[in-house]
Amino acid sequence: MKNKIRQLREAFGLTQEQLGEMVGTSRQAINAIETEKNEPSIWLAHDIAQVFNASIEEVFLFEESQRKSRADISRRCAYGTQRD
């Protein structure tokens, strides 16, 4: 999922390690989210957004996500149909 974490973090003068400490996770986890290798839990996304005094939607760009259709893919597999 696309996100603005790096831009916001740098604007706030925070390192990945500092942001991780603020939200209770590691620098490595922040890096993986920032570089779109991992997606945060809803709770972690909420905590990250709170640090930047922003909504989750302002930090995480769902409409640009290539993985947003996972539910549709799962439904297609479960029902054996193609919906396009």
Q: Supply the pLDDT for residue 77.
A: 73
Q: How many separate domains does the chain show?
A: 1
Q: Supply the pLDDT for residue 16.
A: 98
The residue among 69, 12, 9 whose CA lies nearest residue 34 is 9
The residue among 42, 82, 84, 37 whose CA lies nearest residue 60 is 42
- Residue 84 within any structural domain of the chain: no
- Residue 55 within any structural domain of the chain: yes
- Residue 36 within any structural domain of the chain: yes
Tell me, what CATH number does 74's domain have? 1.10.260.40
Identify the domain containing residue 25 by its residue range: 2-79
- Residue 26 within any structural domain of the chain: yes
- Residue 42 within any structural domain of the chain: yes
- Residue 43 within any structural domain of the chain: yes
Q: Supply the pLDDT for residue 62.
A: 78
Long-range contacts of 56-60 (CB under 8 A, 24+ apart): 58/4, 59/3, 59/4, 59/5, 59/8, 60/1, 60/2, 60/3, 60/4
pLDDT: is 68 or 12 the higher one?
12
What tens digit of pLDDT does each residue of 14-67 get?
A: 999 999 999 999 999 999 999 999 999 999 999 999 999 999 999 999 764 455
Which band of pLDDT confidence, cut at 50, 70 and 90, is reported for residue 69? low
